Structure formats: C-alpha cells, structure tokens
Amino acid sequence: MKTSNLLLSTTRETPADAVVISHQLMLRAGLVRPLAGGLYNWLPLGLRVLRKVEGIVRDEMERAMSQEILMPVVQPMELWEESGRANDYGPELLRIKDRHGREFALGPTHEEIITDLVRKEIRSYKQLPINFFQIQTKFRDEIRPRFGVMRSREFIMKDAYSFHMDTDCLEKTYQTMFEAYNRIFTRLGLDFRPVQADTGSIGGEASHEFHVLADSGEDDIAFSTQSDFAANVELAEAIAPRSARAEATAIVEKVATPNAHSIAEVQSCLRVKTKKILKTLLVQGATEETPVVALVVRGDHTLNEIKAEKLDLVAEPFTLATDEQIFASAGCKAGSIGPVGLSIPVIVDRTAFNSSDFICGANEDDFHLTGVNWDRDAKATLVADIRNVVKGDPSPCGQGKIEIKRGIEVGHIFQLGNKYSTALNATVLNENSRAQVLEMGCYGIGITRIVAAVIEQNNDEKGIIWPESIAPFQVCIVPMQMHKSPRTEEAVMAMYKTLTEMGVEVLLDDRKERPGVMFNDMELIGIPHRIVIGERGLDKGQIEYKHRRDEKAQDIPEDEFMNFLKEKLNLA
RNA sequence: CGGGAUGUAGCGCAGUUUGGUAGCGCACCACACUGGGGGUGUGGUGGUCGCAGGUUCAAAUCCUGUCUUCCCGACCA
C-alpha cells in the first residue's frame, strides 16, 4: 500500500472532547471518526487493525473447536419474551417495529437466537457437545457512552455459545475457552488478568472476566499481593475479621448532631474516626412481611449492592427504601438511622458486627448514639458479607492482602447452566430416548474495545505503538527526496516490490512531504518497523532501520539489509 | 434520570461582559523558495456563529425554549 492510495487522516491537534489516551490517539491517527453519541465510522487504517484482531480471535476459536456462524442484528421480540428478558433487560435494549408493526430488538447479545437455532437443529446427544461463535455487531443503548470505542453503543463482539448434556462437559469446554482466551490476549500483546466475576443479568453459575490493566479502566479489580487471586470487586469476598470483637466498655449516650447526616458530617461533628461510625441503610425487602430491611456497614466501607441483592431478605433488583418507608420504619429521615430499637430485619456486615462502642444514628432526626454495642443494645438478624473489599483487607484466598487496580473488561466467559435452554425448551434426546434440557456456556470478547485497550497499553508521546500481531502494516518505507532523486526512487521501489512479494504488509509513504511530516505520521499511526532510504545512505551503501520502540535508528549495509530485516520480522 | 460545562470554518480557539461589516492558528488550494524531524513567503478557498422563536433600526452577543457533545453522579442514611 502506498500513502497516495490510503486515507491518512492524521491531525496534529487533539480533539477537545476526547478524554482518554486511546480515544485521542484513535482520532489523531485517523482510525475512527465519531458519527453520533456512541457511534463511530471506522476509517481504512482503523479497520485494518480491527480485522487483525478478528483474525486472531477467529483463529483461536477455530483451534478450540468452535464453529463460526452469523446471526442477525435484528431479533424478533417474541424470543425475548420467551426467555423473560423482554422485561428484565430494560432500556438498554433498543426496540423497533417493522412496517407491519411487528416488534424487534437490535441485538445486545444473542443467547435467545442461538438457543432457538440449536433447539431447531440439534436433535441428539450424539451431536454434542457443540460450540458456535460469531463476530457480529451488537447494539446496547448505554446510559452513558464514553471514551470513544471503549464504551460505545454499537460495537463488534465475538460471542460464542456451547451446548452440553451435562455440567461436567460444560466445565471442560469452559476450561478450553479459558485457555483459548489466554492465548488470544497473549497474542494481542496485552497485559491482562483473568478475574473471578459476577454473572450479572446474563445469569448462570461460574464466570471469569478478562481484564486489561489500565488506569482508564471502568472496573475495580481486587488482587492478592501474594497469590494469583483476582476478582472483580463486585464479587470479591470481604472475609470475617479474625480477631474477636472487643469488649463493650462504654454506655449508650445520645448526642446532638445537628445537620450531620452523612458519615463525613458526623465524623467532623463528633471528631471521631469514620470506622467508629456504623451506617444504616434501609432497602426494599423481598416479602410482604418484611417490606423494608436495614443494612449496616462500617462508615469507612461501602455497601455492595450485588452481594446484598443475593440475600433472601433483600428485594431483587436492589432498591433503596422511599422516604415514607424510612420514616415509617425508623421514625426519622435518612441520615439519622441506626440499628438500635428497629423492629425490621437488621442485616449486619461481618466487619461492622466486629465493632464495639460504636456510633450510629439514633432514629431521631439530628441525633446519634455513641457507645453502642451489638447484642447488648442492638440485635442483628443476620451477619453477612455485604460490603466492598478495600485495599489492605486480607485476601479471601488466605494469602496476602487485597490490592485494587483498574481494569478494562475485554472478555467474559460464563457457565450459564440451563437458564435459556429451559426457558426456550431446548432439549435433545439422551441415550434413553428421553428429552433432556441442554447445559449451556457463553463466551464473549469485545473486539472494538480491544483496539482501544491495546492503545491504552501501547503508546508514547509520539503516538500509538502497535504490537506486531495487529499493526495495520508491519513495515513503513520513508523515502528522502524521492521526487528529486531517481536513484532513491529506484531503491525505494525495489524495496517495496521485494517486501510486497514476500507477503510483508508494507506502507510506502510516497507523498511529497517533508521528512519530518512523514516521520511524525508514521510514528503517530504506530507502524512497528521503519525503513528510511535516501541519497545520504545510498552513498555509503547503507539503509536505515528503526523499530518504533527503538531509541535510535541504525544504518545497515545494503547487502545485509534483507537478512537483517527478515530477522526483525521473524521471517528468518 | 440528576448536576455542571459546551456549541463560532475539517481541527484547536478568540470575539459574547458593554448589540453595530465574523476573526486567529493549524489543515486545505495555487505559486515560489526549501528539503533527514510537523520549514518560509505571497496569494486564495471555506462559516445559515447548534436549532427555533422573541426583543431591537440592528443579535454570534440580550431573552425564552429546544437539541448536541463532554464531564461528574446515580452509595444516600
């Protein structure tokens, strides 16, 4: 490819509304252009990278015995009603009607479609296990698209779905996918970690997310400082304190805390540490007998809604109590609630239950209680893990302490079980000629997001630094004064022809630009290998080479150059 | 959905306070010089000032509404 035939839309200035580095560089390098909120055009250079990512994913999926198919973006609503997700999925599901008034949705994921396909096509246990994947556009009407293609509304995803007669078989495929994912992200040159994850709205049992470590990530990942343990903070267990609770030494006293409603306000009002204060939150209960439930965590901790939601007493989805309910249950406004004397169920976090002589709301506006103790002054209906882990907590694996880093979720694998196969009645005949519901796994990779994630981890002040595996071109040739020097032109064209015939993806910058412009553009778009050819070198019988990551260029004798380059390209 | 910003040429911005001929840099086009790190000069192209309505002799500027984009929040006891 020659730059004269390529839309090379680089810009010197960074568009003002791009915040993260990958978004800035994708715009500056001319990979993508915004169309509307969360919608992007992919320009030729960006698409070349996207296709490379797809290629690696496809290659490894096929190696892992998954078969490629393609399912429609537009999906009939009936299937969503059949699975029950028409109600559950909410406003992220973009619904549309055709000319006949029939309802459809733009697919945010394809569990319903694949399950429908499989129930129609697969008849016998002899055909199982089977694993299908597709690389397809998804649409999710995100609350807040941001960071360019990192969180866009339309995006490309690889999604795979496996079907099994039993959970043992599912677990084997899950493990195969786990290994395939590790190979994929390794080939993509990413610094990543598999982490234990919550299954979220998609449902199911076991689940791992694959996260690219980057400060711009939107997820918090909890790591152990001493083991391989890694889990999304949504899931990471906050283990019970090992030490016994200290003896009660104080008596309960009611103190005025005018206008102090938040933990921070109470803290500054009473001049105590936040960990001495317990906060009590009222939420919707699961049953009519317990319409409101109290949740208690320590002032320096935050409630984990996902953990809370899983408790039998707590309504799903997690919903805070209304002001009316709070007044009816506690006799005060939010901000002055405490566990003492409440007649509703009180669920206490394990760590909060280890506090003694603590401070909490007095269930009377603008008053708090000090010197409160569990059992003596307040009863816990249930003690459970309902908070987020924080840095320094003991790791649930038993080794080391928790450390928290930001991650970009680029892959997610689930053991779904039979949620969808049951809902859609996807069965096959087993050895006994009996219909049996299928076990199901699903495995996603965010293709477009990966492009951004790679850039987040591979850039410098000059621009993008592509890993070899997904660079839009492996090599660029930058000629010096080619329009004035027939000798240079001859050498450049010969090099271009040789490399092209070798099957190397080479970009020849044949624009009549100044050297500085060409150097800067090639560095901005991140081509790994650079060859400079000019009279200066030719006079000495030399050709210049520089890797994008090299500090300095080196001059190589002409007759050794091809062997030198082959070694650099791993073609030797 | 709540809060805060923002919108003027492809990009980055000034002009709005105090109403009076729409500007600058980059990019783009032409020519000349230059030629190993975004060079210089001369001359150009390009804008319904987000949109709609209002006030006024006169609106980018004041008023009302509306939309876009971006940021923060959606944990608050």
Nucleotides of chain B within 7 Å of a protein C-beta? 1, 10-13, 25-27, 34-39, 68-77
- The Å distance, CA of A16 to C1' of B19, is 30
Which nucleotide lies at the shortest CA–C1' distance from A534? B36
The reported pLDDT for the residue numbered A326 is: 87
Q: How far is the CA of A519 from the C1' of B10 (A)?
A: 23
Helix (H) or strand (E) holding A360: strand A358-361
Residues in chain A: 572
Q: Which nucleotide is nearest to A521 (CA to C1')?
A: B38
Nucleotide B12: closest residue by CA–C1':
A13
Instruction: Give the orientation angle of helix A447-457 with respect to helix A21-28, to 10 degrees.
Output: 100
Burial of A392 (C-beta count, 10 Å sphere; 0-12/13-18/19+): exposed
CA of A151 to C1' of B36 (A): 41
Length A488 CA → B44 C1' (Å): 34
Blockwise average pLDDT, block size 10, chain A, 572 residues:
94 90 95 91 96 98 98 95 86 89 94 97 97 96 89 95 96 96 97 84 74 89 90 88 91 88 83 90 87 91 87 84 85 88 93 94 91 94 92 90 91 93 96 96 96 95 96 98 94 98 97 96 97 96 98 96 97 82
Q: Which nucleotide is nearest to A143 (CA to C1')?
A: B1
Distance of C1' in B74 from CA in A297, Å? 20
Closest nucleotide to A282 by C1' from CA:
B77
A70 CA – B17 C1', rounded, Å: 60
Can you tell me which residue has the tokens 């624009």?
Answer: A511
Residues paired with residue A459 on neighbouring β-strands, in sequence order: A464
Burial A189-203 (b: 16+ CB within 10 A, else e): bbebbbbbbbbeebb
- The torsion of the CA quartet A323, A325, A331, A334, rounded to 10 degrees, works out to -40
CA of A35 to C1' of B67 (A): 16
Residue nearest to nucleotide B5 (CA to C1'): A17
Cα-to-chain-centroid distance, residue A258: 43
pTM: 0.92
Q: How many CB atoms lie within 10 A of CB A205?
A: 15
Give the separation between CA A183 and CA A187, rounded to whole angstroms.
6
| Span CA (A16) to C1' (B57), Å | 40
CA of A13 to C1' of B17 (A): 30
Give the H/E segment covering residue A460: strand A459-460
d(CA A440, CA A312): 26
What pLDDT sits at residue A199?
Answer: 65
Distance CA A501, CA A32 (A): 30
CA of A510 to C1' of B72 (A): 46
> In the complex, which nucleotide's C1' lies nearest to the CA atom of residue A337?
B77
**Nucleotide at minimal C1' distance from the A537 CA:** B36
Whole-angstrom distance, CA of residue A566 vs CA of residue A47: 26
| CA–C1' nearest nucleotide, residue A552 | B37
Say how far A485 CA is from B32 C1', in Å: 21
Q: What is the CA radius of gyration of chain A?
A: 30
- Roughly how many angstroms between the first and final C-alpha of chain A, as a whole number? 23
Given the structure tokens 């008034």, which residue do they identify? Answer: A101
Between CA A160 and CA A137 the distance in angstroms is 14
**CA pair distance A297, A263, nearest whole angstrom:** 11
Of A475, A416, A442, A446, nearest to A184 (Cα)? A446
CA distance A111 to A549: 43
Nucleotide whose C1' lies closest to the alpha carbon of residue A280: B77
Pairwise CA distance, residues A248 & A552, whole Å: 69
Tell the residue number behind the tokens 């960074």, with chain if given.
A14
Predicted ipTM of the assembly: 0.93
